[in-house]
Structure 1
């Protein structure tokens, strides 16, 4: 297949693209900076500089839409919130427009979303049918999914990736946590009781490949079947690193530092991958300690 990817230089894209090549697929990456993308992804990837000059997606068999500004890198000012939304909504709308303009549109659109779609639901076990809280992360993801779903037709199916915290080497949440934890300065966030829905990068990539190859559509929680509380995650990471992990970060200090975006670490989702498992997908990484040992190692 010839597969078009947005966000190809991001954490998930960097791991997904080599797997696609190994399976014999052809990959085209949409990028604002072709030189940077070439340096990251290598010679085998074809590059499109943006989508503005494209009239349709004829000749493309599938689209994987992973583009979006990192959500936790800056405080959520009104300007930053709009930037987070636009970086997801605009390119997704452009893709949907190109689907409609195509004589032979791609057979599938796999489009990003996040477990933050549900908001902070505390102890509630979250499957794809769970009604969400109406927080900023839900509004961002709900509109993102709504736009992507506009590509759905009798010729195109749409899959939505409600992704949890991705555990991977050299990137993601661990890139921020490891320096402190290696110094013995890590620990739980706030009361540590909030749930963290995590997924190993291998399972994330395998899940996308599964959706690419099977006749499925709709939202999918891209998370491990066993979410853990924040304090369990911190203690397990400390154990893997052979370091103490008892220095709790007070919720008040986190809110002062992060503002509204503190909900990303003080809230959480006890999300389960119900639809993926019902479809027959088999996870490789169930146990958090094994997953962290693999990634950190």
Structure 2
């Protein structure tokens, strides 16, 4: 029997409703585990099932769980139908403490396969896995609920997201739905809760955007890869043309949204050495700086129509599911990771959860408009970042990547993204009292990689 308990500073009904809403499972899956949701029910009613696809020791595995009991504001229970354990019964309990706060208790009655031998060999490993998993789950639940509680007096919103299937969007959407908001996707593909658009032909279903309260615009061609002329044009066009289409359409609506939050990037500032960069710092030089300036200016039609527009200048987003950290993990785990170039370039990093939290903060805070640096309070040099990651993974970091090798492999992208120095500070977030979840790099990486 395994039990993990945490106090959450919200009421029991609020915490229970969070678990009932679509998106809760997405938010609770540990990012270091290779797990995909294959099938789900949008409820925790008895009889509803979840099918997870994962790997165990490199072998593919399906875990089927069925909800068996539901007692609102008290507990709900699910049982493994098939999966890696001989037995797995998970009870989620909710209590109210003397101060009126929720005490969340996860209790798992499990049995390891293989009898007494399996118990002897696997017990400590499974216990450690459960501690890491439920520590992550409770931390995520707590911070998500605190974020939503700040605005619990507000009415639920209808929010449209472009790029909803990307690294940020795939977690932002479930974060918002667990807070009680309705989320629709703006996508090239047709589907349920989807508004279709075609950036190339500058077409979008404008009628479907009527009544939307907020739009979060994340879509754009990936910047990863060698920057050929064709790739650079795709990067620029996807951002500029997409934002132009969206801004003009929103400006022409009878009931436009109150706010448009557009993604931008740290590339706006270019390579600036040790200079501290705030939202008032001028643009830099280079391809990405030029793209970011044109990208942000493309939202002008919405701004001129009276819509509050904010530009989220993202730093290096940390998640083992994608982006820079995912690319770094394999060489670092093999013990062949190291600094890039001389390692003196500043890396402005931010956890994926803080990106999501900051986008929500910007959307809900009516005083925020214009550029907003989305980065942790303390940037790190590439050398410092390398040492911290190596320490978390318990691996050496003595094999540097020479600058010429990075340029040979990636060309212009290496110059502007890996070797350039950008020391951002999140002045707008700090001045509007955004509560960072992950301000410390080592603690952030330990949480993301299951090594707390």
TM-score, scaled to structure 1: 0.93
Residue equivalent to 2:5:
none
Q: Which of the pair has more CA radius of gyration?
A: 2
Relative distance call for 1:34 and 1:168 in structure 2 (3 A) is farther
Relative distance call for 1:93 and 1:192 in structure 2 (3 A) is same
Q: Is the 8 A contact 2:311 2:370 kept in 1?
A: yes
2: CA distance between counterparts of 1:149 and 1:208? 20
Shift of 1:53: 4.4
Among candidates 177, 196, 203, match of residue 49 of structure 1: 196
Query: Post-superposition, which runs of at least 4 consecutive aligned residues in structure 1 deviate over 4 A?
Result: none
Residue equivalent to 1:191:
342
- The structure with more helix, counted as a fraction of residues: 1
2: CA distance between counterparts of 1:256 and 1:168? 26
Could you say what secondary structure the match of 2:303 adopts? coil
Residue equivalent to 2:271:
120
Q: 1:194-273 residue pairs with structure 2 within 5 A?
A: 194-215=345-366, 216-263=368-415, 264-273=417-426
Could you say what secondary structure the match of 1:150 adopts? helix
Residue equivalent to 2:449:
296
Residue equivalent to 2:285:
134
Consecutive unaligned residues of structure 2, counting only runs of 5 or more, are 1-156
Q: How many residues align?
A: 287
Q: Report Cα offsets for 1:113-160 as digits up to 9, x if no partner.
A: 001100010110110111222211110100000012331146410010
- The structure with more strand, counted as a fraction of residues: 2
1: CA distance between counterparts of 2:348 and 2:161? 25
Shift of 1:296: 1.3
TM-score, scaled to structure 2: 0.62
Among candidates 8, 16, 26, match of residue 164 of structure 2: 8
Q: Is the 8 A contact 2:270 2:286 kept in 1?
A: yes
Residue equivalent to 1:165:
316
Among candidates 70, 73, 83, match of residue 234 of structure 2: 83
Shift of 1:77: 1.4
**Structure of higher RCO (CA pairs closer than 8 Å, 6+ residues apart):** 1
Shift of 1:46: 1.0
Q: Which moved more, 1:199-208 or 1:149-158?
A: 149-158
Q: Is the 8 A contact 1:197 1:269 kept in 2?
A: yes
Q: Superposition RMSD on alpha carbons, in Å?
A: 1.3
Q: Is the 8 A contact 1:8 1:17 kept in 2?
A: yes
2: CA distance between counterparts of 1:153 and 1:130? 23
